[in-house]
Each structure stands twice: as C-alpha cells, then as structure tokens.
Structure 1
Amino acid sequence: MSWKSDIRVVVDFGTTYSGFAYANKASPEVITNDTWPEVTGAFKTNTVLKYDQNLRNVEAWGYPALAQRPSRRAERNSTSKPVELFKLHLGNMPEKEKPMLPKGLVYKKAITDYLTEMSMCVESFVLIKETVETRWPNVNFMEQVLLIMTVPAEFTDQANATVRECAYKAGLISTQYSEKLQLSTERSFMIVDCGGGTVDLTTRELLENNRLGEITERSGDFCGGTYVDKEFIKFLKRKVGDSAINLLHENHYGQLQYMVQEFCRRVKLPFTGNKKDFKTFELDIEEVCPVLKQYVSETTKIKLDKDDWIIDLEFEDVKAMFDPVVGKIIRLISGQLNAGASSGTCAAMFLVGGFSESKYLQARIKQEFGGQSTDIAAIVRGAVDYGLNMKTIKTRVLKWTYGIELSPQWKKGDPPERKISHGRINVFSKLVSRGTIVDVDEEFGKELFPSIEDQSAASMKIYKTPEYDGKYPDEPGMEKLGELILDFPDSQLGFNRKLEFTLSFGQMEIRAYCKNQNGKSVDAIFNLEF
C-alpha cells in the first residue's frame, strides 16, 4: 500500500462545476479527469444532483442530472427536479438569497451525496490510471492518499468545518479530523478565482525557499458565471413573459436548463465584447425548447408566430447580461490591488475557475488593469491542480508545440492565396516541439528583424498546436496564446535592427518576453497546461 501515499489528489468542489486532478510523486505528470457521466473531454462536470422521489437515493449527478434534451412530445410533470447551487448554503450570504432546496433535503446531505459520487469517480479514475488492482477491499482508498480540497476565500471557519464533516460522511476520509484531508485556498501572486457562484481573490508574495506569504486579506463575493445565466433568464421573461418562464421552470426544468446551456455554449463563452466579432444569435424556441409554446400568453404568441418563434439576441442584449457581473468583479480586483498597494506592485494576475473562460471578462480585466502602474503582467486560465506541491518538479514534458508568427518574403512554391501585402506570407515558426523535456525556466528564443524597412512597432503572436510541427498560424489545431506589442524605434536604420524574443517554461507558467535594442521590453505569462 505504500504506493498510495505518493498520490496527491486535488478536488475542486465548485458551486456550478466540479473537477479533480491527481499526480504521483514518482512522475511529474499531472493528470486531470476528463470523463464524466454522459460527457467525455471536459475537465469539469456540473455540481448537480437528481434524487428519487423520496430524496433518499441519487439517481443522477453531474450533467445528466441537469440538462434534458427536448423531445417532440411535451414532458410530463417531473416528480424529481435537479438540486443545484447547494454549495452556496456554506457562504455567509443572506438566507433569502440562498437557493431553495426541496422540502426535506438539507444542504449538508446534498454536499455529502455529491462528494460521495465524486469519491467513487476519483477512486476509479486513479486506480485505472495507476493500473493497480484493488487488493484491499476493506481499506478506505481515499484515506491512503493526500487529498486537497479547494475552498473559497470568504468561507468562515464554520463553513470549512462543514466541508470536512461532509467529506467524512462521504467516505473521502476515515476520520473527521484526518490529516489526509487538507483544505486550501493557497495561491501565488493575485488569484482571481471566478467560479459559477463565487469569485475569490487573494494576493501572496513569493518568499525564500519557495514559500508563499499572504500580503492582503482574502476577499470575495457572489458574482460568478451563473449570474450571467440569471440575466439571460430575465431577458427571456421580458420576451415571453414571467409566467411562461416560471411555469417552464416548475414543470420542465430540464428543458429550461437545456436552453440555458445552449446560451452558455453558443453565446456566453464566445462573447468577446467586441461588436465586430458579434453575430446576432437566433434562439429558435421550436428547436431548443418547444414545450415553452404552451405557456405563452395569446398576445405574446401572436407576436412570436410572426417571428417564427425566433428570439434575436443582439450585441447590446448580451453585453447587458455581462456588465453587472463583470463590473462587480472589476471592483473586487481594484479593492484587492488597493489593499496590497503598500506592499508594492502586483507582478501577475491569474484568472482561474470556469467563468475565467469568458473572453469578455478577460478583455475587460486587461482593459481596466493591463496598462496601469499595477503592472498586471498576464491573465491566464488556471487549472484544478494548483494545490499540488510543484516545487519538487524540475522538468516538464511539453504537451504542445510552441511557436510564433513570422512574415518572411513570399517565395515561389508558397501557396499563392497566402501572399499578403509587401510580398510577405504569414508562417508558424516553431520554438520547441511537443514531447520535449524542458528544465524549469529553460529559455527558447529567436533574434527577429523588421518585416518592413520603416516598421515602427512589432507584434509578436504566440501559438501552440498539439502537432509536432506546423506551417501556418491559421491551420487546424493552432491556438493563439497571446500577443506582445513592442515599439520598434530608429526606423532610419531600416532592416539593421533586431528584437530578442524568448519563451520560457516555469513550474506553472509560460513566460513570453520581447526586448528591442533600446532595452524596452514587454512580457506576458500564460498558463502551462498539463
């Protein structure tokens, strides 16, 4: 059984989405679970339960417990509705704002039941990955590993104690106060943890011997991604009526959630806040939620019939759903920066959590803080495995091939359709290949020269691809990590100027750095995906 003591499991029990990852100290690889009930390829699943009619047994959990694809026939009234957002009952928020639970169900039971399902999923996943047979049927598997559960910064000691109690009842640990369970909000620099229900912030400094010191009080509020979903539902009520949505919620909650999930997938996540990028989204009620038609008033039905039961979501409609939530997050970040001002500048900001995927949220944070004296170096997507002890890792095996976009002269044999202005062509220039073993902070660089003789600025676009090489930055699989823009002075020198570009890989981050010959530099930090 000694092999189990080398396992580190991190469980991210979120308000709307949850996930887990693990690592074995014998290997530097961090493995994130991406297989859930009815879903494959996603790093998290919904924090949702569905019980039997007596609220005793869990019939489904995760995505299958929440969303139901509409059928041609109207659903019968459901006797069992999904239970969601129950984690909010741990937060220090007014009782009237906490989500309603079915009569007879207490939030501690919901948390315990969900963690029980998660426990079985963790055990199965780790055992399969480690290719170890279960030889000790009477031994608690989770008690043999070190389990780290992330908790919001604003949780009280009582809330943390409740998490531990529920983890014990769920079988994650064999005794309630077992040291095999660690609750952690540990972060490095400023972490903005944008979950579904809560947003948590903390700022720490790096001390000697790879220790972290907290330099501000942790802060947080209830302004996560589900609050955008709530604004979408308000929008629907304005279009089809309060009563129609309320009846849909009451009798066909699965179809309502299917419509919300379609909005999230096709509108919420892609929304950038740039009007030029936006295309009016047509919400086809007959396709995504046909049962809604029976609840709409006659007056509204006449209008919707004329529109073929299509509701248009315009740019300003979607922006109005985001702005109250994003504005609250911006104010939280400002407060955290002001609280840490006496300790110096904030070197880096990390966005983590499900809502951090929002391109609009990322753009607004860059707009508000990217160019100010706080010197926010980067905004990145975090990983569920942040709590793992990373200081023992000295090398990494790269999962991606990394490179930059260059614009050399178009030459005979190059595709004619790729020829751009000034007789150039945009190509992918590889810096390091997938599968390469790199030391922590090892650098890969290039000396670069102007594409145009009187060029006054340089734009360095950084890409990654799962392939071992690439030709063009727009080919399938290429993903743009970010862009650095730097002055290119002394245009009178023409092509006799150079830039130094460097990409390095830290324990948790990729750092891109570009410097001109006058010493001016720009840099950015990106999440290193495992």
Structure 2
Amino acid sequence: MGNNQDKPLTEHTSHSNRAPSRRETHTSSDVSLKNDDFKDMAVSGKKANRPSDIPFKSDDFTNMAVSGKRKRSSYLVVAAFDFGTTYSGYAMSFRDNPLNIITNQSWIAGSEKLISLKTPTCVLLKPNKEFHSFGFEAENKYSDLSLDDEHHGWLLFRRFKMKLHNTEGLSRDTTVEDVNGNSMPAMTIFSMSLRYLRDHFVESLEKKTLGVTETDVQYVITVPAIWDDRAKQFMREAAVMSGMESSRLLLALEPEAASIWCQVVTTQEEQILAGVGSKYIVVDLGGGTADISVHEKQPSGQLKELHKASGGPWGGSYVDNNYISCLTNIFGKATIDRFKKEQMADFIDLHREFETKKRGIRFDTEGKVTFKVYVAMMDIFKDIESHSLQESIENVGLSGKITITGDKLRVDSSVVKSWFDGPVDSMICHVKDILSEPKMKDVKLMLLVGGFGESQYVQNRMVKEFGSKYVIIPEEAGLAVLKGAVRFGHDPDIMSARVMQYTYGIRILLPYDEFLHPSRKLKVVNGEKKAKDVFDKFVTVGSEIPVGYKVTKRKTPNDMNRTFIPVFRASSDAPYFTTDQGCTEIGFLVINHPEGKSLQDKVFDVTFTFGDTELFVEAKMLHSEREFSLTIDCLK
C-alpha cells in the first residue's frame, strides 16, 4: 500500500431504498470463488495481505432504515437441511404446494431396525481419509469393523458441530477430533457431511420428479440464532464446498424456523400463536445448544423479533455426557477408554440405548431405571482394577443409589434426573432472566421445540417452572425447525424485523479534541491532529432493525488498486473507540478497484445491509457504475 497507508479516506453518505434480492446479494463465500477456491482456503487458510490500519475521516453520515420487500422464492423446490449436533435430516416442498412438507423417511438405524426421520451427525472416513459414509450407515460400518478388529486407521467423527459454538480462534484451519483423538480439518468434515445430505436429497428428488433439476432448488441450512458472523461464514463456506451454489443458499435461524412452522399448524394450541399481536418466547432445545428468541405476530402476517437471540450450551448431549461421566466414575477412566477403543460396537449401542431411555424419564419418575451393562466392560474392569464394582460405587458416594445385578445397571431415578439438571437448570434460569425484563411483561406464551424439547423430563420441568405461561409443545417438536426452514425458503420475508445481537461499525479518524480524546489516541495526518480508532457506529445492540436496513458509506481510496476496511462489533451500545473493552474486529472487507486512472475515478459506495440472518455487503464504483457483492472475511 506504500506510504499512503495512513492517509484518511474521504467519505460521505448516500442511501438506497431497495433491499438486495436474495439472488443479487451474497455473503461470506460470494466473491466469485469456485468450489476449488474454497478447498484451497480450507486447507491453507490463505487470505489477502492487509495493512495494519486504514482509517477513515468522518464527514456527514446518517442512518436510514429501509424495510425492502423481497420476492417469494422463484425456485421450483426448497430443500432445508437441519444439520444438528447429534442428529441431522432434510425436508423439501414444491413451489406450487409449499406447505406440503416432505421429510426423508428412509434413515434406518441398522441393528435397532429403527426407521427415523433423522440420522446421527457422524462421518466415517477410510484409512486414506476419503469419505466412506454418514449417519447410521457410518456408525454401523464402524461397529462391524470393530467387531472384526479391522477398524484401526478408520476415522469416525461424531458431534462436531459444537466446534462452532465457541468461535474464538475459529479459522479455516480449525480441526476436529474423531472418537480416537485423530484430527482432521473441520471444514473438510463439515463439507463432507453436507455433501452427503445434499447428494442424498438430489437422488431422492430425481426419483420423485421428472423435469426438475438441481439448479431448480433453493437450499436452506439451519443454524443456531446465537451463532455469530464467524460461525455462519464457516457453515456457508462448508456448504459451498459441498456443492451448494452460494446464490441459492439461505441460512435460517433455528428458533425462527420453529416459530414460522407453528404459524401454519392447525391444532388449536398452535393457532393461539397465529393471532395478531401474539407475543411468545421460543425455546429451541437441540442436541448441543439452547436457542431462545421472542416473537410477535404482526397484522401483515409477518413475525417480528422482540428480544435479541440468546442461549447457551445446554442441549441434550450434555445429559449423555453426564451419563458417561457417571459410568467413568464407577468403572474408571482406563476401563471406559479401553472399552471405547476395543468395543466400539457396544459403545455405539450404549449411546443408542441411552437415547431411548432418556426420552422416557419424567419429572415424577420414581424407583430405579435399568441400563444395560456390557460384558466386555465388566471384563475390562476386572482386568484393570483390583477392587470390586460395589467398592467403586461406595467410593463415589452412590451406595444404595446404584446397583449392578448381572448385566443390569440399576440407577435411582434421583441420580438419572440429576444428569438433566445441569443443562436444564441453566436454561430455565436464562429464560427467567429474559422474561423478568420489563419489556417482556406481555409475553404470555412459550413455544418449546427441538429434539431435547421432546424429553418428557424437560417438558415437565418447563410446565412446572413457568406455570404462569401457556407452554405449547407441538407434535413432532424435533421436526418443527426443519419444516419451518422449508417454509422460510419459500418466503424469507416472513420475518419483518430482528433485534441486533451486537453493535456494528468501522474505525475512523476524527478531528482531535484534547477535552474528549486521550493523548494516546492522537495521530498527526498531513499535519492535522486526528483522534484514531474512533468507533463509527452503524447499528446498536438490542435495537430493533427492519429486514433490509441499509447503511451506505462513500469513500475515496488512497490506494490505486485496493482498499481494506476492518469491521468491528461491540457488546455495549455506545463504544467510543474500537479498542474499548468488548470491541472485536470481526473481519475485513477487500475492495479491488483496478478501473480508472486517478483516485477520483475509484470513488465507491459500500452498503451494509442489516436485519437479515446474515450481514450482506455490496459496493458500487461510481465512475464505472460496476456493482458487486463483498465478503467480510471473519475467518482467520
């Protein structure tokens, strides 16, 4: 960038009152990159070199809210993928009958002979690290290999989606571990999973229809509403690597999707939600996370978000983890590790059995609950340990609460329910905090959805804790997100407004004022005193933003070839400097402008569009009138 790097860019504001169409505006992975480009990015983490500081000078800038309407989907088919922590599945419907949702009926759970509407989120790789299978097929194949002692070198990845929950340090080089601790790039594992689901869907579509091709499909992938920009970009890039065209891909927020579906369900309870003015809290409990939103039904038929999405890692998989921890306390870590390594078939069956058992646990369950103890686990324990199992039970303080008779583990219901209490207590406390806010006083309804929301214990607890609310649990609560995502794909404008999770802005220079600005922020530019690192705010955390809210900045570059714009977010509503506590640089824009012979020929408008499920950015070169989409590169 030469010596011009620290010169301020001049800017002013203009507005457009047209929201970008879904086919015109792209995000994270839309800078004319092909699948091969993303593959290279995933492996090497390459990105453009950037200067350390490209400040902007603030002249006149105002915000303007524009709630532009988008057209309904013009695609013949919408296919939605619910890519979950523990289970995944897909559903579809056709444009001429969008509410006739077709779910895949052919997931078969192998040894259990169980036909399921979802399949486990797990991937099996061959020893050469090529994809072999996904879901029940992957678990069953690995089990068979384990029984024949031929599983060595094979890699089985399970429950890896939670890698995107804590995104600090998330990059294209982030890795996930298989059941034996072997690492692979997370981007590779995610894209393999999505490719399998996509291919499975396309094969099913071709069998059902004539004259419909893959290019007639609008894809939708569900993501937790609490995910940040970094995690959403990661998922989008993985989807593009899997073969989904980015311009035909939407991300749907999971609690929103469930809420959208329950607007059209015809049972009496769900019809209450569809009344104009209805305000309700959506509690979406999945395998990994609890995702919580608050919605209001508008006279237009749209939904408006009333509270920023929130939640935490309080999903059903943590109950499973507590069960395994209990077994580890009794049998010892060495026994469980060896059992898992040598008897993977039994270890997978153990998880499947527990999944079935935990669904039947109620808040008023009494007596003991019976679980199977595998002979191999008992034999390994006897081989490793010198004391008896009864002594182990006494040592962990569970004497009288747990007994072992033959191949049966009998666990007191109080112990089993305690495995639920950690995640459920955290979730209930969080929901109570939300409902205690003054602006939430009119929220009288609660919608409980998600796979973990089907747990009888969870349902009992929610009704008990929120007796003053009308708790609605739709039939097939675990499919509400998936079906709603299909409807969202047909009508993405069904959400009219969302509440910002963060304050967003960019870094600029202002005239230095010794009474306002600390001396450490003084910077001399072309002989003028400037205050550096000033946070130029676009939108404010907690504010209600209509879908299509635009902020446009006009800039004169100081470099002939390209401009870098760092983008920041803050957890507070009024950050002053981008270095304030709680401020984070989420990524940066790269604007290439080779056209023109002077800097004035390269003046451009950059427009940020808020209020959607992702942050969209577009640019327009004023001299050449070239328009193009931009990516905020959030992945390191």
Q: TM (normalized to structure 1)?
A: 0.63
1:82 is displaced (CA, Å) by: 1.3
C-alpha change, 1:61 and 1:146, in structure 2 (3 Å) is: same
1:184 is displaced (CA, Å) by: 1.5
C-alpha change, 1:377 and 1:316, in structure 2 (3 Å) is: closer
C-alpha change, 1:389 and 1:70, in structure 2 (3 Å) is: closer
Q: Does 1:281 align with 2:386?
A: no
Q: 1:105 aligns with which of 179, 184, 187?
A: 184
CA contact (8 A) 2:107 2:119 kept: yes
C-alpha change, 1:253 and 1:184, in structure 2 (3 Å) is: same
C-alpha change, 1:95 and 1:261, in structure 2 (3 Å) is: farther
1:38 is displaced (CA, Å) by: 4.9
- Equivalences for 1:72-91 in 2 at 5 Å? 75=149, 78-91=152-165
- Paired AA for residue 191 in structure 1: V
C-alpha change, 1:66 and 1:351, in structure 2 (3 Å) is: farther
- Paired AA for residue 193 in structure 2: Y
Q: Does 1:203 align with 2:271?
A: no
1:36 is aligned to 107
C-alpha change, 1:292 and 1:191, in structure 2 (3 Å) is: farther
1:113 is displaced (CA, Å) by: 0.4
- Paired AA for residue 103 in structure 2: T
1:104 is displaced (CA, Å) by: 4.8
1:206 is displaced (CA, Å) by: 1.1
1:22 is displaced (CA, Å) by: 0.9
**CA distance in structure 1 between the partners assigned to 2:335 and 2:486 by the alignment:** 47
1:166 is displaced (CA, Å) by: 0.9
1:292 is displaced (CA, Å) by: 4.6
What percentage of aligned pairs have identical amino acids?
25
1:161 is aligned to 233
**CA distance in structure 2 between the partners assigned to 1:108 and 1:72 by the alignment:** 27
CA contact (8 A) 2:80 2:90 kept: yes
1:324 is displaced (CA, Å) by: 0.9
1:35 is displaced (CA, Å) by: 1.2
Deviates more, 1:298-307 or 1:354-363: 298-307
- Equivalences for 1:484-523 in 2 at 5 Å? none
- Paired AA for residue 374 in structure 2: I
**CA distance in structure 2 between the partners assigned to 1:338 and 1:227 by the alignment:** 27
Structure with greater Cα Rg: 2
1:184 is aligned to 252
1:144 is aligned to 216
1:272 is displaced (CA, Å) by: 0.8
C-alpha change, 1:118 and 1:329, in structure 2 (3 Å) is: same
Q: Does 1:379 align with 2:379?
A: no
2:83 is aligned to 13
CA contact (8 A) 2:435 2:441 kept: no
C-alpha change, 1:165 and 1:72, in structure 2 (3 Å) is: closer
**CA distance in structure 2 between the partners assigned to 1:94 and 1:272 by the alignment:** 37
CA contact (8 A) 2:447 2:471 kept: no
CA contact (8 A) 1:203 1:215 kept: yes
1:268 is aligned to 358
CA contact (8 A) 2:223 2:251 kept: yes
Deviations 1:170-218 (A, max 9, x none): 0122xx4x1x211111353322111111111111111121111111010
- Equivalences for 1:336-485 in 2 at 5 Å? 336-339=434-437, 341-369=438-466, 371-372=467-468, 375-380=469-474, 381-382=477-478, 383=480, 384-389=482-487
CA contact (8 A) 2:84 2:287 kept: yes
CA contact (8 A) 1:77 1:252 kept: no
1:385 is displaced (CA, Å) by: 0.9
**CA distance in structure 2 between the partners assigned to 1:182 and 1:105 by the alignment:** 27
C-alpha change, 1:273 and 1:219, in structure 2 (3 Å) is: same
> SS state of the match for residue 335, structure 1?
helix
1:314 is aligned to 412
Q: Does 1:299 align with 2:424?
A: no
Q: Pairwise CA RMSD of aligned residues?
A: 3.3
1:25 is aligned to 95
- Equivalences for 1:326-337 in 2 at 5 Å? 326-337=424-435
- Paired AA for residue 112 in structure 1: S
> SS state of the match for residue 427, structure 2?
helix
1:264 is displaced (CA, Å) by: 1.5
**CA distance in structure 2 between the partners assigned to 1:183 and 1:66 by the alignment:** 28
1:170 is aligned to 242
**CA distance in structure 1 between the partners assigned to 2:184 and 2:176 by the alignment:** 12
> SS state of the match for residue 208, structure 1?
coil
1:323 is displaced (CA, Å) by: 1.0
1:144 is displaced (CA, Å) by: 2.1
Deviates more, 1:4-13 or 1:306-315: 306-315
**CA distance in structure 2 between the partners assigned to 1:295 and 1:197 by the alignment:** 35
CA contact (8 A) 2:191 2:241 kept: yes
CA contact (8 A) 2:80 2:486 kept: yes
1:65 is aligned to 138
Q: Which has the higher contact order (CA 8 A, sep 6+)?
A: 2
**CA distance in structure 2 between the partners assigned to 1:295 and 1:144 by the alignment:** 60
CA contact (8 A) 1:49 1:62 kept: yes
**CA distance in structure 1 between the partners assigned to 2:352 and 2:458 by the alignment:** 19
1:247 is displaced (CA, Å) by: 1.6
Q: How many residues align?
A: 372
Deviations 1:98-137 (A, max 9, x none): 96355451111100000000001111222323x3267x6x
Q: Which runs of 5+ in 1 are unaligned?
A: 394-530
C-alpha change, 1:306 and 1:376, in structure 2 (3 Å) is: closer
- Paired AA for residue 425 in structure 2: G
Deviations 1:153-176 (A, max 9, x none): 111112111111111110122xx4
- Paired AA for residue 169 in structure 1: M
- Paired AA for residue 123 in structure 1: V
2:207 is aligned to 128
1:217 is aligned to 308
Q: TM (normalized to structure 2)?
A: 0.53
CA contact (8 A) 1:18 1:47 kept: yes
1:238 is displaced (CA, Å) by: 2.1
**CA distance in structure 2 between the partners assigned to 1:217 and 1:108 by the alignment:** 28
> SS state of the match for residue 217, structure 1?
strand
Q: 1:323 aligns with which of 391, 405, 421?
A: 421
